[in-house]
Amino acid sequence: MTAHPLPDDIDTAPGASPPAPVAPGPALRVLLVDASDRGGIARYTRCLRVALEAERIDVALAAPVGVGDPDLVLKGPRWGPEVASMGKVRLYALRLGELGPTAVAFARAVSRARPTVVHVQTEVVPGLDPLVLRRISRRVPVVLTIHDPVPLEGGARAAADQARRWRAADALIIHGEEPRNFVEASAPGVAVHVVPVDLPLGGPALPRAEARRRLGLDDAPSALLLGQVRPYKGIGLLAQAWPKVADALPFSRLLVVGEAYESADLALLESCSGVDIRRGFVPEGDLDLWAAAADVLVLPYSVGSHSGVLHRGLAAGTPVLASPPLAEEVHRTGAGAVVPLDPAAWAEALVRALSDHPLPRPTAPTGRGTARGTLEVYRDVLDRRARGVA
């Protein structure tokens, strides 16, 4: 495995000297595993790799073709709006057909990489992940990062399925303290570590006027919902709140940009005055443009304790309005303000943010805490394994 160069878009600040790496301790060969070919987790994994390599850790990445290392290609499960709209029979047939190729590709990647730790970011073999992870763990420690501890969709059944997956790991990483009790109760006996995110998941920042010019936007006050457009992101709440914003600020607009999961709430939101929905996958560089172009990012999530979009806002210097599930991350990073999940409260907060009470610009992350915290998890797992501690 060779060193992975720092991408230009997440390098150190202009003119700054790179921080000196910390002593890595015992040699580590880490295999990051991420079955996503796009989206927030894929970006997180890429940035984590860079951050770990800055600490002189040997890192390989198993991911879909064109994303990971050429000899560690995963055949990840298909996902996205098209898959979500499939009926149960078609979806079952799709997943059944994926089982063999995804399991074989995962096992082959682990064998080829010969890691000391396998660090998994996403589900890799739908339905069989617990079995596959347990088999891998017999030979090498397995760490899972749980980006969304409370299921975003699927309810109790999804929670039970993911808990079985968690119990197959040697250690679990979550991004905040709030979901710790839930995760520990779901996977008793598995070590749970809180590693907050301070990776530069976006950037470099652009002036708002320049970002708008590149996107062909005028200077109207603009709120933005960015990324996958799914029901849990508060589409229904915005459909109730935005008409009041449009009445108070007739020239304001709500931009909804990303892969759209169609729903009645989204159709209702689209019918509101001043709402502009741009459907489709957003290329990596354009995500930073959109984040920089907005006056405020909106994250009225009904569930979730971490948001990659919030970190895009940090990198772009654009504040966020977020719901209580994201409060811990908002307060820790200084990303913006927290608004109760109430349409009237959101309407009031949006009017203020888009008129005479704009939120202060947040500061971009500069820390190395995520990489160092992750390294501590690896070393703890290896130490426990060496001492024969379950």
Instruction: Classify burial at 372, counting beta carbons within 10 Å of its beta carbon; exposed 0-12, middle 13-18, buried 19 or more.
Output: middle
Quickly state the pLDDT bin for 365 (edges 50, 70, 90): confident
Most confident of 31-40, 90-99, 216-225: 216-225
Quickly state the pLDDT bin for 283 (edges 50, 70, 90): confident
Is the pLDDT at 18 greater than 50, yes or no?
Answer: no
Strand 222-226 with 142-145, pairing = unpaired
The topology under which CATH files domain 208-354 is Rossmann fold (3.40.50)
Is the pLDDT at 7 greater than 50, yes or no?
Answer: no
Phi and psi at residue 276, in whole multiples of 5°?
A: -125, 110
- Residues 60-89 pLDDT 10s: 999 998 899 999 999 867 656 665 666 766
Q: What is the CA radius of gyration of the chain?
A: 21
- Residues 303-338 pLDDT 10s: 888 898 999 999 999 999 999 999 999 999 999 999
Is the pLDDT at 374 greater than 60, yes or no?
Answer: yes
**Do 146 and 166 touch, CB atoms closer than 8 A?**
yes
Q: Where are the domains of the chain?
A: 26-199+367-387, 208-354
Average pLDDT, the chain: 88
Q: How far is 17 from 15, CA to CA, in rounded Å?
A: 7
More confident residue, 94 or 264: 264
Domains 26-199+367-387 and 208-354 are alike in CATH topology: yes
**Do 145 and 94 touch, CB atoms closer than 8 A?**
no
Q: What pLDDT shows up at residue 12?
A: 31
What's the pTM value of the predicted model, to 2 decimals? Answer: 0.84
The topology under which CATH files domain 26-199+367-387 is Rossmann fold (3.40.50)
Token pair belonging to 288: 């930073």
Is the pLDDT at 156 greater than 80, yes or no?
Answer: no
Backbone dihedral region for residue 192 (phi beyond 0: left; psi -120 to 50: alpha; all else: beta): beta
Which residues have C-beta within 8 Å of that of residue 308, sequence separation ≥ 6?
A: 39, 40, 41, 43, 44, 201, 227
